[in-house]
Amino acid sequence: MNADDESLLEDLLDGSHRALARVISKIENRSPGYRPLVSTLYAYAGTADVIGITGSPGAGKSTLVDKLAETYRERGETVGVIAIDPSSPFTGGAVLGDRIRMASTVGDMDVFVRSMSARGTLGGLSTATTDAVTAMDAFGKDKIIVETVGAGQNEIDVVRTAETVAVLVPPGSGDSVQTLKAGILEIADVFVVNKADRDGADRTVQELREMIELGKGSGFGNAGHHGADGTNRDGDGGARSDDGSTDWTPPIVETVATTGEGVDAFIDELAAHRRYLEASGERSEQARTRHAEEIRTLLREDVNAILESELERAGGIDALAEAVRIGDADPYTVADELLDPVERCLEELETDVDLEFE
């Protein structure tokens, strides 16, 4: 790490929001030196609650996140918000700008809001989101909220970053719930029927309850991303099954984000889920799964960079394709020849890792 990055890291750890913003920009742009910077941040992270907020467009996610952050601040806790927005087709940047939509916390430096571009990533989550969460965690934010763009089934990517996932379902007909059923409902730790003052809210709540009840024991709708088969929730926020084991059954909370109604109850359920994660050991298991995915992602990025270098060394993809066209080669032989040095590199890496940890 160079001297400038070391100074930037010190400023972040000293509580400079400007430094936090610069670090996240460096992360999002994949600027030179971001990797050792993030690597160092891991030593200071691991204490924040990471909450994912997802749901269909128009469900009121940003308004609810605004009220959620405001309520946490009233309780004396600091908040970081990462809002994943659609990408501009021209610049690749975020186009909605959630600071505009989160009016209640503007001017409160203990609520740090950062809009990030989806950049075409499945689920609206940029590949830099996890690193940005790590930066906010190391900074010392108590609560980190990741709000996704609301792009349907691929929103399951949020699970890789968040410990607790809340799925917002707007009041509507049974068809709207059925549409979500095949997508993002399976990942919910908490269901939120927002805009609960509108017609159809009671029906939506009932449909969700029936869906959860029908899904028990089938791996759907009964335990968020924990895979449980519990029944009624107990006082610790879990669910007590007939054999005495405790698992999590997603509760359903009704909110009216514009007025703040139900937000305290929502926070209580988020806290209950956190207690469940701690008591059951799920939080440690989640962390292992999340870090495994991070390692896979980094390896994919690095191997892809190596392959691109090999392609350039071999004359570029067009030259290789032309060789196949005229019969001088075939796709399988080309792929094998390109992968051979990569495989040797990975074998050497595996040997080095084994030696390091012996």
CATH of the domain at 245: 3.40.50.300
Based on the structure, what is the number of domains in the chain?
2
**8 Å CB contact between 78 and 143:** yes
Domain contains 22:
no
Tokens of 270: 């988020």
pLDDT of residue 155: 61
pLDDT band for 174, please (50, 70, 90 cuts): low
**Beta-strand (E) ranges in 126-256?**
143-147, 164-168, 190-193, 239-240, 246-247, 252-254
Q: Among 247, 280, 313, where does a domain finish?
A: 280
Q: Do 184 and 158 fall within a single domain?
A: yes
CB 263 within 8 A of CB 71: yes
Q: Which of 232, 260, 280 is the last residue of a domain?
A: 280
Q: Are residues 321 and 220 in the same domain?
A: no
**Can you point out the beta strands (E) in 16-157?**
49-55, 79-85, 111-117, 143-147
**Judgement on whether residues 269 and 302 belong to the same structural domain of the protein:** no
Say if 16 falls within a structural domain.
Answer: no
Q: Distance (Å, rounded) from C-alpha 205 to C-alpha 194?
A: 10
- Same domain? For 175 and 310 the reply is no
Within a domain: 109: yes
234 and 148, same structural domain?
yes
Question: Are 207 and 347 contained in the same domain?
Answer: no
**Residue 12 covered by a domain:** no
Is 17 domain-assigned?
no
Residues 301 and 238 both lie in one domain: no
Residues 306 and 197 in one domain: no
Range of the domain at 115: 46-280
Task: Examine residue 174 and state whether it is found in any structural domain, yes or no.
Answer: yes
- Report the C-alpha gap between 148 and 171 in whole angstroms: 19
> CA-CA distance, 196 to 194, in Å (whole number)?
5
User: How crowded is residue 119: how many other Cβ atoms within 10 Å of its Cβ?
Assistant: 18
Q: Are residues 276 and 296 in the same domain?
A: no
19 vs 238: CA distance, rounded Å: 39
The C-alpha atoms of residue 144 and residue 133 are separated, in whole angstroms, by 7
d(CA 272, CA 282): 13
Alpha-carbon torsion 345, 157, 31, 111, what sign? negative
Say if 194 falls within a structural domain.
Answer: yes
Last residue of a domain, one of 215, 250, 280: 280
Query: Higher pLDDT residue, 176 or 323?
Result: 323
183 versus 144: the higher-pLDDT residue is 144
> Do residues 148 and 155 make contact, with C-beta atoms less than 8 angstroms apart?
yes
272 shares a domain with 125:
yes
Task: Tell how strand 252-254 and strand 190-193 pair up.
Answer: parallel
Tokens (6 digits) for 201: 């809210």
Asked whether the predicted pLDDT for residue 223 surpasses 50, the reply is no
Distance CA 321, CA 304 (A): 19
Please tell me the pTM assigned to this model. 0.80
Considering only residues 109 and 317, tell me which one the structure prediction assigns the higher pLDDT: 317
Does 60 reside within a domain? yes
Whether residues 254 and 159 share a domain: the answer is: yes
Q: Do 204 and 103 share a structural domain?
A: yes
Whether the predicted pLDDT of 218 surpasses 70: no
Residue type, 134: T
pLDDT band at 64 (very low <50, low <70, confident <90, very high): very high
